[in-house]
């Protein structure tokens, strides 16, 4: 009986250790308003802040946040920023507010957030936090009438490769990892307390809107489209440079293989002559020869990130162009009537 109880206890403990996958990020409405206010106040400068909340099963609850001070890249200032973060969390703990770190938020310009710096920040957070997310807010895209807010995390397969620092073609094929598998977007659910929901219901007008919102029919999206196309051209140039690196690598590899074959053929001919003379044959491999030194394959991480960014810009241009066509057809119908 005791053994069965011990086994059942161990089974329960083992099942509790297996974390359920993260399925949704539940954010309180006040937190979203804080993030939007902070990002818009300092736009176009990029800002970041800390997310606080609870990790409950497959739901990551974000109940509070606070901004980080804007600082330059300096070791002393970075230390001050870390002290500021610890002091803020201590103050929140004293007033009985959730002070568990669940990630961070940051602003971006036209969705240009897929960088090596973001991945490094994720890895630093992962060292101390089992599960964390990054909330990305884009003020420039939100000006087009869309709440550009998304929650991201790194995929487990990508983190495994990043820890090994091995992004060769062979490893990527082995893990079946492509450029779309770097980040995982987690659905966001906005949550409000019953008191806030009741207050918002009272604020709603019973009568229909009498004045049309003409801003929704604004046809000019020229600055937004221009900047998207400019960023897209820059990314295409970066991708072309990455492709040139791989072309140079494969040319060098082909040249080295040709030199190895020539050296091997020469050595085999020499060994045939030595056998005919009754001498010992020489080894067909010479590690000290420079032509047998392996050429390191360049990392594909940067090209993956650039490809991700290009896809993001294309989706944004496609979305804005589709909305513009809808507005044009609507205005044409109004004009004809």
CATH number at residue 88: 3.40.140.10
Q: Does the residue 259 lie in any domain?
A: yes
Q: Does the residue 179 lie in any domain?
A: yes
Q: Does the residue 271 lie in any domain?
A: yes
110 and 35 both lie in a single domain: yes
Q: Does the residue 4 lie in any domain?
A: no
248 and 186 both lie in a single domain: no
Mean pLDDT, range 282-289, rounded to an integer: 75
Count how many domains the chain has.
2
Of all residues in the chain, the percent with pLDDT exceeding 70 is 85
**Greater confidence, 75 or 330?**
330
Q: How many CA atoms lie within 13 A of 44 on its CB side?
A: 6
Structural domain of 297:
235-336
243 and 289 both lie in a single domain: yes
Non-local (6+) Cβ contacts of 152 within 8 A are 133, 134, 136, 183, 184, 185, 186
Of 183, 218, 253, which residue sits at a domain end?
Answer: 218
202 and 105 both lie in a single domain: yes
66 and 161 both lie in a single domain: yes
SS3 category, 218: coil
Cα 55 from Cα 101, distance rounded (Å)? 10
**Number of neighbours of residue 271 by Cβ within 10 angstroms:** 16
167 and 279 both lie in a single domain: no
Q: Does the residue 275 lie in any domain?
A: yes
**Greater confidence, 222 or 301?**
301
At residue 34 the predicted structure's pLDDT band, cuts being 50, 70 and 90, is very high
CB 62 within 8 A of CB 48: no
SS3 category, 35: helix
pLDDT over 70 at 260, yes or no: yes
Mean pLDDT, range 6-18, rounded to an integer: 45
194 and 70 both lie in a single domain: yes
Of 218, 251, 279, which residue sits at a domain end?
Answer: 218
54 and 166 both lie in a single domain: yes
Maximum distance among all alpha carbons in the chain?
Answer: 108
Q: Does the residue 181 lie in any domain?
A: yes
170 and 319 both lie in a single domain: no
Of 184, 218, 252, which residue sits at a domain end?
Answer: 218
At residue 79 the predicted structure's pLDDT band, cuts being 50, 70 and 90, is low
Cα 43 from Cα 311, distance rounded (Å)? 24
Q: H or E stretch including 262?
A: helix 222-276
212 and 99 both lie in a single domain: yes
**148-197 pLDDT per residue, tens:** 899 999 888 888 888 888 888 888 888 888 888 889 999 999 988 888 88
Q: Does the residue 225 lie in any domain?
A: no
At residue 62 the predicted structure's pLDDT band, cuts being 50, 70 and 90, is very high
306 and 184 both lie in a single domain: no
Q: Does the residue 10 lie in any domain?
A: no
pTM: 0.75
What integer pLDDT is reported at residue 43 of this predicted model? 81
192 and 83 both lie in a single domain: yes
- List the structure tokens of 53: 């909340």
The alpha carbon of residue 263 and the mean position of all alpha carbons in its chain are separated, in whole angstroms, by: 47
């Amino acid at each position: 009986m005791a053994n069965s109880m011990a086994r059942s206890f161990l089974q329960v403990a083992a099942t509790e250790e297996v974390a359920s996958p993260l399925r949704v990020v539940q954010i309180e409405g006040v937190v979203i308003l804080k993030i939007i206010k902070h990002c818009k106040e300092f736009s176009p400068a990029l800002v970041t802040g800390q997310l606080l909340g609870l990790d409950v099963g497959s739901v990551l609850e974000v109940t509070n946040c606070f901004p980080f001070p804007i600082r330059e890249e300096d070791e002393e200032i970075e230390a001050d920023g870390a002290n500021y973060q610890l002091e803020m969390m201590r103050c929140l703990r004293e007033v009985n507010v959730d002070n568990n770190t669940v990630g961070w938020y940051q602003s971006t310009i036209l969705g240009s957030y897929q960088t090596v710096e973001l991945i490094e920040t994720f890895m630093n957070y992962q060292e101390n936090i089992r599960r964390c997310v990054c909330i990305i807010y884009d003020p420039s895209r939100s000006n087009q009438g869309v709440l550009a807010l998304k929650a991201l995390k790194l995929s487990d397969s990508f983190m495994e490769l990043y820890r090994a620092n091995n992004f060769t073609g062979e490893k990527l094929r082995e893990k079946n990892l492509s450029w779309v598998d770097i980040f995982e977007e987690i659905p966001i659910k906005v949550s409000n307390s019953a008191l806030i929901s009741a207050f918002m219901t009272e604020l709603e007008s019973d009568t229909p809107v009498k004045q049309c919102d003409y801003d929704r029919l604004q046809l000019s999206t020229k600055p937004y489209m221009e900047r998207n196309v400019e960023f897209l051209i820059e990314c295409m140039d970066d991708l072309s440079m990455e492709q040139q690196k791989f072309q140079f690598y494969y040319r060098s590899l082909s040249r080295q293989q040709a030199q190895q074959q020539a050296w091997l053929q020469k050595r085999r001919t020499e060994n045939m002559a030595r056998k005919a003379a009754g001498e010992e044959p020489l080894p067909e491999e010479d590690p000290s020869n420079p032509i047998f030194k392996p050429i390191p394959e360049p990392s594909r991480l940067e090209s993956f990130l650039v490809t991700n960014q290009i896809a993001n810009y294309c989706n944004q241009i496609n979305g804005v162009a589709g909305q513009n066509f809808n507005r044009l057809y609507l205005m044409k119908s109004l004009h004809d009537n």
